[in-house]
């Protein structure tokens, strides 16, 4: 049966591929009818329970294999270790992934077992960060492999406890009531997943309904309170959905964009929304994956009418994320990942298409970004520029081609500027009235939410990327740097919980009187922009006292710089860097100071995070208008002619040449003078 | 008797001026590469291309010069077996620091077989055997970094190599300034320069010179008064005993 289906797919696939991709009617693949089953394998129409993708899709696909070979599901849960035990980890980091690795921008942390104060248990994590997680992994099983629903609720650990936001104390979570979040196949494989409904279900704690909520747009289910009701007449008699209720499509960039950032293929002008972690790569890197021209966007871009290069040239050329981040056992993908050693550049042994459709490896090929550390063993498996482009022959014009390509990532010249704003600084030492941090953006003059604010973009900073373990050299890549300030307390150190911060700052719908007294310079009862920062020791002390009054001890402010390497927003042709002086000069050069923040808390100078492959070895200095990062590339082995100089040698050279010149002048002058004296004397 | 001696052959003069022009151009383009923000003449890219080409020209010229000096025996000009090198060098230094101001006669009399005073000889040996090869090697490594990354890495990377190359460039610049000034310290301020252009240098000839001329030279003495070439004997007759 499966072979027959696969054969039909193979026959019809070229027809679909030849069509002009239409985002409203995404490429169609032939997929057999299927019944929606619940976790017990019963049709949802009869059980009325939440749908299980693992069961429904598992009728044909090996969903167990898919869930087990899936770092989007495990997000580091399979790499957990003792807190802070791996190089570069913070003392409260439990893994290298979203589950366990502290993301200071998201702030809340998965609390190590045994901590007196709990910030997040696994249930909190699912509720708070589940919007970035496809389900499965830690949302189904503990890192030890025990199903969450089988855990003994009397054993207090992060999998069984959650933070009671009324009391600030941990309490036992009832997994049997919330259910778990199974791997959500529908999120990436149907044409119109309802991600908002899914997130609502997660945030409300109705975890097992998350997959069902994803089908909300299909008309198969309707919301009833916190639960969902299956609509009988949307199903056929055999229990399968009416035709076209669920259309299975190949995963597209739009699917990835649900969690990763703004992907825009519509006619409407691009208008990114900021201040939300929902558009993560847009927020952190200004990334917009769209074929649209910036000149047609809805943003007030500087020089807008001339910006006629698409937001991302790969989007314009109709590439999808999966073209580069492919399933490693996809027989239609060049099996770069399956090359077995240096003697083989291509492994011809590939799965048949039906084998692949049964067991598609969801450990997608990935790169080596500065920010992502999960599944490091897959680093560098993705399709890089040189795997598709004839970089050597297309850069004949480039002097010292080998040298440039050996020391620069393609992105260094092909992401010369980021046209959209991106996060510059996040200050968790203070809270805004909504209970969030003070945030700064780069690339925009004014408020990022103000449509009239001029968006002038920014030039990323070039940082060396650490040499990969499998060879190669350190290469310069464009980065955005985000500085984050936050409070730490106790020993072993932990971030001050968001719960405690909010208690310290906010009271009765406004700021706490002690906070207002210290920070409200104009006594208007509000903390407006410039007031919301701890720029004097007195303000720091006032907040510290508030936190101490909550029982927190040994409070101090820490600050970090987190680099985000830029690999999207690719531009080409005249929009890419061709001017030597872009790098080979000091005036325009690559080591221009990079503003980290316009304000800084308590004078604490941010230090680079250690869990990154970017080498952030420049200097951080307080200068006019804020804190700056001054890149230094020479000490990292990058000697850039016209840019890097040995100052002592130049100083000695100037002295020697000046001395020679002065010596000649003085010696010659005396000679002439004495010669004339002698002549006049004689 | 005031005479002119044929001091520099045509090849030596062409070699010298070519080398000088290349060195000046290398210094100028090198400076543009080194500090493009401070000095712009042709632009960074053109400066790199020109510098590279000039570097190879300099190498070729230096190599031809080396062959010439080896096969013509002119290399002996730079190496003296004389034991009085140090006293002569001290005399020369004393002259530059003191005698030259008093109008004292030059302590060293140039001859076609002994063109350089002891100080010159030392400097030229250092320039041609240490500084020039150092610049050539470091320049080659900078040029060939992408061809020989291991060699560049073994020497500490581009930064170290560029540091040496830059230091050498400063030294060459200082040398050039001193060299241009010191050519004015001949019998007349322009006689050395003229000699390097025409080959002939004006001299108050002495017996030693004549003796040497009579034994080794093809006629290379010119009577300044008549403007005709004279033999060593004729030149010698004009000298007082």
CA dist., res. A295 & res. A291, Å (int)? 12
CA dist., res. B83 & res. B140, Å (int)? 38
Assign B240 a pLDDT band (cuts: 50, 70, 90). Answer: very low
Q: Do B103 and A674 touch (CB under 8 A)?
A: yes
Indicate if the pLDDT at residue B156 is higher than 90.
no
State the count of interchain CB pairs (< 8 A) between A and B. 101
Indicate if the pLDDT at residue A680 is higher than 90.
no
Q: Which of residues 78 through 97 in chain B touch A, CB cutoff 8 A?
A: 96
What's the gap in Å between the CA of B109 and the closest CA on chain A? 20
Give the pairing of strands A626-630 and A619-623: antiparallel
Percent of chain A with pLDDT over 70: 93
Predicted local confidence at residue B236, as pLDDT: 62
Q: Specify the pTM.
A: 0.86
Round the average pLDDT of chain B to a whole number and report it.
86
Tell me the C-alpha to C-alpha distance, in Å, between residue B99 and each of B118, B123, B191. Answer: 16, 21, 19
Tell me the C-alpha to C-alpha distance, in Å, between residue A232 and each of A44, A213, A269, B195. Answer: 10, 16, 39, 110
Please state the rounded mean pLDDT for residues A311-324: 94
Span A262-315, pLDDT tens digits: 999 999 999 999 988 888 999 999 999 999 999 999 999 999 999 999 999 999
In terms of Cα–Cα distance, which of A283, A287, A280 is closest to A311?
Answer: A287
Indicate if the pLDDT at residue A213 is higher than 90.
yes
- Quick one: tokens of B100? 């030259």
Percent of chain A with pLDDT over 90: 68
Predicted local confidence at residue A530, as pLDDT: 84
Indicate if the pLDDT at residue A597 is higher than 70.
yes
Residues in A touching B37 (Cβ below 8 Å) = 585-587, 642
Please state the rounded mean pLDDT for residues A518-531: 88
Indicate if the pLDDT at residue A9 is higher than 50.
no
| End-to-end CA, chain B | 12
CA dist., res. A287 & res. A253, Å (int)? 13
Best A632, A642, A655, A676 member to test B by mutation, with max B CBs in 10 Å, is A642
Q: Do B145 and A645 touch (CB under 8 A)?
A: no
Assign B186 a pLDDT band (cuts: 50, 70, 90). Answer: confident
Query: What is the DSSP-derived secondary structure letter of residue B47?
Result: H
In terms of Cα–Cα distance, which of A334, A356, A377, A513 is closest to A97?
Answer: A377
Assign B213 a pLDDT band (cuts: 50, 70, 90). Answer: low
Assign A591 a pLDDT band (cuts: 50, 70, 90). Answer: confident
Q: Which residues pair with A170 in a beta bridge?
A: A163
Please state the rounded mean pLDDT for residues A71-91: 93
Which of A151-165, A389-403, A480-494, B78-92 reaches the highest mean pLDDT?
A480-494
- The verdict on B101 touching A (C-beta cutoff 8 Å) is yes
Predicted local confidence at residue A528, as pLDDT: 83
Q: Which residues pair with A228 in a beta bridge?
A: A223
Tell me the C-alpha to C-alpha distance, in Å, between residue A445 and each of A342, A457, A464. Answer: 51, 9, 29
Best A653, A673, A674, A678 member to test B by mutation, with max B CBs in 10 Å, is A653
Tell me the C-alpha to C-alpha distance, in Å, between residue B93 and each of A357, A667, B98. Answer: 90, 13, 8
ipTM score of complex: 0.89
- Quick one: tokens of B209? 């010179």
Assign A6 a pLDDT band (cuts: 50, 70, 90). Answer: very low
Sign of the dihedral defined by the CA atoms of residues A370, A375, A377, A383, in that order = negative
Query: What is the DSSP-derived secondary structure letter of residue B180?
Result: H
CA angle in degrees (0–180, nearest 5) for A137-A139-A145: 55
What's the gap in Å between the CA of B102 and the closest CA on chain A? 7
Regarding predicted confidence, which is higher, A334 or A135? A135
Q: Which residues pair with A248 in a beta bridge?
A: A190
Span A644-675, pLDDT tens digits: 888 999 999 999 999 999 999 999 999 999 98
Please state the rounded mean pLDDT for residues A42-48: 93
CA dist., res. A628 & res. A631, Å (int)? 9
In terms of Cα–Cα distance, which of B56, B68, B55, B66 is closest to B168?
Answer: B55
Round the average pLDDT of chain A to a whole number and report it.
89
Assign B146 a pLDDT band (cuts: 50, 70, 90). Answer: confident
Describe chain A by its helix, strand, coil percentages, rounded to 5: 35, 15, 50
- The verdict on B70 touching A (C-beta cutoff 8 Å) is no
Predicted local confidence at residue B114, as pLDDT: 82
Instruction: For residue A44, give the 3-state DSSP assignment.
Output: helix
Q: Residue holding tokens 């003697």?
A: A343
- Quick one: tokens of A496? 């001050």
Asked whether the beta carbons of A239 and A45 are under 8 A apart, the reply is yes
Please state the rounded mean pLDDT for residues A614-637: 87
CA dist., res. A420 & res. A457, Å (int)? 5
Best B44, B106, B131, B186 member to test A by mutation, with max A CBs in 10 Å, is B44
What's the gap in Å between the CA of B142 and the closest CA on chain A? 10
Span A323-347, pLDDT tens digits: 999 998 888 875 554 444 556 666 6
In terms of Cα–Cα distance, which of A201, A211, A190 is closest to A255?
Answer: A190
Q: Do B170 and A656 touch (CB under 8 A)?
A: yes
CA dist., res. A242 & res. A25, Å (int)? 18
Asked whether the beta carbons of B221 and B206 are under 8 A apart, the reply is no
Nearest CA in chain A to B31: A642
Residues in A touching B40 (Cβ below 8 Å) = none
Residues in A touching B35 (Cβ below 8 Å) = 642, 645
Of A401, A657, A667, the CB nearest to B174: A657
Of B44, B102, B159, the CB nearest to A584: B44
Q: Residue holding tokens 């650490």?
A: A466
Indicate if the pLDDT at residue A587 is higher than 80.
no
Asked whether the beta carbons of A289 and A262 are under 8 A apart, the reply is yes
Instruction: For residue A267, give the 3-state DSSP assignment.
Output: coil
């Amino acid at each position: 049966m499966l072979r027959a289906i696969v054969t039909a797919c193979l026959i019809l696939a070229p027809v679909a591929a030849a069509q002009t991709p239409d985002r409203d009617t995404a490429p169609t693949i032939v997929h057999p009818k299927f019944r929606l089953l619940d976790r017990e394998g019963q049709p949802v129409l009869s059980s009325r329970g939440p749908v299980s993708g693992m069961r429904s899709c598992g009728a044909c696909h090996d969903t167990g294999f898919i869930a087990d070979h899936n770092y989007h599901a495990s997000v580091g849960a399979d790499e957990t270790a003792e807190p802070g035990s791996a190089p570069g980890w913070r003392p409260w980091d439990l893994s290298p992934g979203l589950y366990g690795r502290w993301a200071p921008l998201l702030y809340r942390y998965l609390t190590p077992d045994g901590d007196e104060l709990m910030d997040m248990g696994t249930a909190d994590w699912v509720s708070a960060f589940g919007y970035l997680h496809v389900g499965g992994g830690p949302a189904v099983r503990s890192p030890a492999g025990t199903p969450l629903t089988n855990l003994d609720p009397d054993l207090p650990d992060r999998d069984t406890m959650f933070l009671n936001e009324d009391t600030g104390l941990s309490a036992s979570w009832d997994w049997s009531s919330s259910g778990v979040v199974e791997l959500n196949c529908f999120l990436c494989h149907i044409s119109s997943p309802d991600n908002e409904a899914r997130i609502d279900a997660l945030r409300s704690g109705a975890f097992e309904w998350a997959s069902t909520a994803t089908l909300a747009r299909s008309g198969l289910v309707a919301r009833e309170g916190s639960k969902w009701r299956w609509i009988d007449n949307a199903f056929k008699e055999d229990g399968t959905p009416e035709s076209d209720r669920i259309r299975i499509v190949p995963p597209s960039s739009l699917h990835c964009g649900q969690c990763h950032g703004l992907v825009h293929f519509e006619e409407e002008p691009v208008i990114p929304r900021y201040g939300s972690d929902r558009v993560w790569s847009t927020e952190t890197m200004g990334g917009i994956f769209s074929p649209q021209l910036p000149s047609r966007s809805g943003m007030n871009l500087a020089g807008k009418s001339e910006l006629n290069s698409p937001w991302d040239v790969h989007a314009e050329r109709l590439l999808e994320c999966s073209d580069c981040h492919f399933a490693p056992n996809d027989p239609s993908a060049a099996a770069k990942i399956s090359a077995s050693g240096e003697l083989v550049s291509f492994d011809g042994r590939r799965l048949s298409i039906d084998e692949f459709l049964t067991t598609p490896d969801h450990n997608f090929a990935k790169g080596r970004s500065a920010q992502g550390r999960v599944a490091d063993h897959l680093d560098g498996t993705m399709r890089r520029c040189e795997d598709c482009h004839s970089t050597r022959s297309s850069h004949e014009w480039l002097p010292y081609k080998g040298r440039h390509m050996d020391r620069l990532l393609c992105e260094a010249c092909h992401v010369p500027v980021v046209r959209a704003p991106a996060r510059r600084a996040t200050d968790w030492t203070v809270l805004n009235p909504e209970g969030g941090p003070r945030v700064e953006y780069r690339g925009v003059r004014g408020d990022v939410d103000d449509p009239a604010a001029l968006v002038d973009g920014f030039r990323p900073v070039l940082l060396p990327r650490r040499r990969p373990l499998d060879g190669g050299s350190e290469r310069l890549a464009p980065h955005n740097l985000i500085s984050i300030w936050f409070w730490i307390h106790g020993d072993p150190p932990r971030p001050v919980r968001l719960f405690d911060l909010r208690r310290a700052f906010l009271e009765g719908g406004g700021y706490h009187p002690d906070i207002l007294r210290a920070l409200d310079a104009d006594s208007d009862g509000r903390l407006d922009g410039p007031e919301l920062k701890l720029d004097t020791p007195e303000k720091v002390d006032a907040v510290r006292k508030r936190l101490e009054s909550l029982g927190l001890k040994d409070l101090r402010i820490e600050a970090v710089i987190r680099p985000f390497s830029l690999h999207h927003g690719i531009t080409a042709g005249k929009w890419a860097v061709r001017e030597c002086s872009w790098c080979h000069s000091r005036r325009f050069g690559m080591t221009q100071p990079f503003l980290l923040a316009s304000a800084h808390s308590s004078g604490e100078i941010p230090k680079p995070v250690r869990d990154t492959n970017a080498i952030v070895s420049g200097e951080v200095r307080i200068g006019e208008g804020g804190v700056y990062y001054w890149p230094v590339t020479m000490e990292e082995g990058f000697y850039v002619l016209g840019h890097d100089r040995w100052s002592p040698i130049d100083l000695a050279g100037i002295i020697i040449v000046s001395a020679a010149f002065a010596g000649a002048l003085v010696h010659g002058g005396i000679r002439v003078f004495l010669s004339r004296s002698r002549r006049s004397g004689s | 008797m005031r005479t002119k001696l044929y001091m520099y052959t045509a090849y030596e003069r062409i070699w010298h001026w070519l080398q000088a022009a290349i060195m000046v151009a290398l210094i100028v383009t090198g400076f543009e590469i080194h500090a493009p923000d401070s000095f712009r003449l042709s632009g960074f890219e053109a400066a790199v291309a020109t510098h590279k080409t000039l570097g190879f020209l300099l190498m070729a010229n230096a190599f031809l010069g080396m062959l010439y000096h080896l096969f013509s025996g002119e290399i002996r000009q730079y190496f003296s077996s004389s034991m009085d090198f140090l006293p002569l060098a001290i005399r020369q230094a004393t002259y530059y620091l003191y005698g030259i101001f008093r109008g004292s006669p030059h302590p060293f009399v140039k001859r076609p077989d002994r063109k350089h005073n002891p100080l010159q000889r030392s400097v030229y040996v250092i320039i041609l055997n240490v500084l020039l090869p150092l610049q050539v090697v470091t320049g080659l490594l900078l040029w060939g970094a992408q061809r020989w990354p291991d060699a560049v890495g073994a020497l500490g990377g581009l930064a170290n190599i560029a540091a040496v190359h830059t230091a050498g460039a400063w030294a060459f610049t200082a040398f050039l300034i001193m060299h241009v000034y010191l050519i004015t310290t001949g019998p007349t301020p322009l006689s050395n320069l003229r000699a390097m252009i025409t080959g002939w240098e004006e001299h108050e000839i002495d017996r030693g010179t004549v003796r040497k001329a009579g034994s080794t030279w093809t006629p290379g003495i010119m009577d300044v008064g008549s403007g005709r070439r004279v033999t060593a004997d004729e030149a010698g007759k004009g000298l007082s005993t």
